[in-house]
Amino acid sequence: MAFQTIATFYFDKKFKKLVKKDGLLEERVIRKLQAICINPEIGEPKRHALRGLRSVHVDPFVIIYAIVKDVVLLINFDDHDDAYDATPLILNNLLNDPRTIESLENAGITPKEYIQFMKSLRKKK
């Protein structure tokens, strides 16, 4: 079963900016996204401030995403250090992002479930 993907505004913005400069990068990213949709567990589980998220490398960049039920939520795409530094701030902003909430609702994930999931990312174990 292929998972549905939803890209956040932040992911879309970075993706469009970075692939505009490099057509081959676009092909590599799309292949990696297709692989993620088939098996989201391929990404490396993150720890600490990014616990609950996963990442895959498309050198020299990183795709950071979350698995919410049967949806892959694409959170960030940037070079390695910038991606990991910016993602905690992006996560805070996603709780109030109407576009992401609406897309998830259309995929069958209620706002309550989404908020619960996002809050679970912040809990320390």
Indicate which CATH number applies to the domain containing 104.
Answer: 3.30.2310.20
The amino acid occupying position 72 is: V
Q: Give yes or no for residue 26 having a pLDDT over 70.
A: yes
Section 82-89 average pLDDT: 92
pLDDT for residue 72 is more than 90: yes
How far apart are alpha carbons 118 and 106 in whole angstroms?
18
Work out the number of other CB atoms within 10 angstroms of the CB of residue 81.
9
pLDDT over threshold 60, residue 125: no
Question: Which range of residues forms the domain containing residue 98?
Answer: 4-122
Residues 6+ apart with CB under 8 A from 50: 64, 84, 87, 88
Task: Label residue 21 by pLDDT band (50, 70, 90).
Answer: confident
Q: What's the pTM?
A: 0.92
Q: What does the pLDDT average to over 39-61?
A: 93
What is the domain count for the chain? Answer: 1
